[in-house]
Amino acid sequence: MRQKAIVFLLWGILLSMFADAWHEGEKKGKAWILQSQDVPFQIEEWEKGLNQRQPPIKIMDAIGLKPGMVIGEVGAGTGRMTMWLADRVGKNGMVFANDIERSALEHLRRRCRRDGFKNIAIIHGEMEDPGFPEKSLDLAFMINVYHHLADPVLLIRNIHPSLKPGGLLAIVECDPDKVKWAEDHGCAGKENMIDDLKKAGFEVLRIETFLEEDSIYIARPSTGSVMFKPMIFRP
């Protein structure tokens, strides 16, 4: 009987250890769920799937977003990423949230009131002009927007005056090299993106490729020097 009791005790310990390991693996594999629980704002139901595909915290880390920075988000829509950006830059930072759809911006305005965000300035822009204040931005940002633009080169060219010296541009775009549907939706491949940005007066510093369906392009205004080959960071 004593031996059986010891065996059962050991099995109990092993099962407990297995359960803890499984739970830890599940937490890492579904970090977006924990993010949803930890942030001081409401995440809307439709956003959860996109947050899994494009984890906001990982994206913000990749683009170098820090507290106190001033961000201009092109095509903010109803604010899926805007809320994360504003939370990251904090009360000493600012997010200028641009869109051409008034109804989307009204929804975003209601979210700001509901969740108490006072560091989000809403801008109703035009298709080719985001309307950001001149020399105000540490970073211009867009996600799931580029392939919807009628003239992306012109829009990006019009972003340039809003950047501070040393300011950067970050674009998250679905990648045809990763998923077939991206090409069907008109998403720009790496070569086309680099070429478009060059035409708009920007040079790509690096390309982050850790997302399964998207790539992240980090660019700066061209210095007029010979264009170099951008660094591609893979998982």
Q: What share of the chain is helix, strand, coil (3-state, %, to 5)?
A: 45, 25, 35
Rounded-to-integer distance, Cα 119 and Cα 90, Å: 7
pLDDT computed for residue 124 by the predictor: 97
Are residues 48 and 32 located together in one domain of the fold? no
pLDDT computed for residue 180 by the predictor: 81
> Would you state the torsion angle of the CA atoms of residues 43, 48, 50, 55, taken in this order, to the nearest 10 degrees?
80
Are residues 221 and 135 located together in one domain of the fold? yes
Digitized pLDDT (tens) for each residue of the chain, 235 residues in all: 555 555 444 455 444 544 454 344 444 444 444 444 578 899 999 999 999 999 999 999 999 999 999 999 999 999 999 999 999 999 999 999 999 999 999 999 999 999 999 999 999 999 999 999 999 999 999 999 999 999 999 999 999 999 999 999 999 999 998 988 877 777 888 999 999 999 999 999 999 999 999 999 999 999 864 444 565 655 5
Are residues 25 and 99 located together in one domain of the fold? no
Are residues 180 and 124 located together in one domain of the fold? yes
Outline where DSSP puts E strands in the chain: 70-74, 94-99, 120-124, 137-143, 163-174, 202-208, 214-221, 231-233
Estimate to the nearest angstrom the gap between the alpha carbon of 216 and the chain centroid: 8
pLDDT computed for residue 16 by the predictor: 54
Are residues 141 and 221 located together in one domain of the fold? yes
Are residues 7 and 115 located together in one domain of the fold? no
pLDDT computed for residue 39 by the predictor: 83
**Which residue in 134, 127, 114 sits closest to 70, CA to CA?**
134
pLDDT computed for residue 23 by the predictor: 47
pLDDT computed for residue 102 by the predictor: 97
Are residues 181 and 197 located together in one domain of the fold? yes
Whether 56 and 33 have beta carbons less than 8 Å apart is answered as no
pLDDT computed for residue 187 by the predictor: 83
Are residues 31 and 73 located together in one domain of the fold? no
Are residues 13 and 33 located together in one domain of the fold? yes
Which residues 6+ apart lie within 8 Å of 72 measured at CB? 95, 96, 98, 130, 132, 136, 137, 139, 140, 141, 159, 162
pLDDT computed for residue 46 by the predictor: 93
User: Over the range 5-29, which residues count as b (16 or more CB within 10 Å of their CB) and which as e?
Assistant: eeeeeeeeeeeeeeeeeeeeeeeee
A 10 A CB-CB count for 166 gives 8
Are residues 5 and 121 located together in one domain of the fold? no
Domains contained in the chain, number = 2
Which CATH number fits the domain that encloses residue 151? 3.40.50.150
pLDDT computed for residue 29 by the predictor: 42
pLDDT computed for residue 235 by the predictor: 56
pLDDT computed for residue 7 by the predictor: 43
pLDDT computed for residue 26 by the predictor: 44
Rounded-to-integer distance, Cα 63 and Cα 208, Å: 9
The DSSP secondary-structure symbol of 171 reads E
Alpha-carbon distances of 96 from 42, 93, 108, 167, 169, rounded to whole Å: 20, 10, 12, 15, 14
Are residues 5 and 109 located together in one domain of the fold? no
Are residues 84 and 130 located together in one domain of the fold? yes
Token readout for 182 is: 């991206």
Where residue 214 falls (left for φ over 0; alpha for ψ -120 to 50; beta otherwise) is: beta
Q: Which domain holds residue 6?
A: 1-38
Which 3 state secondary structure label does DSSP give 153?
A: helix
pLDDT computed for residue 201 by the predictor: 97
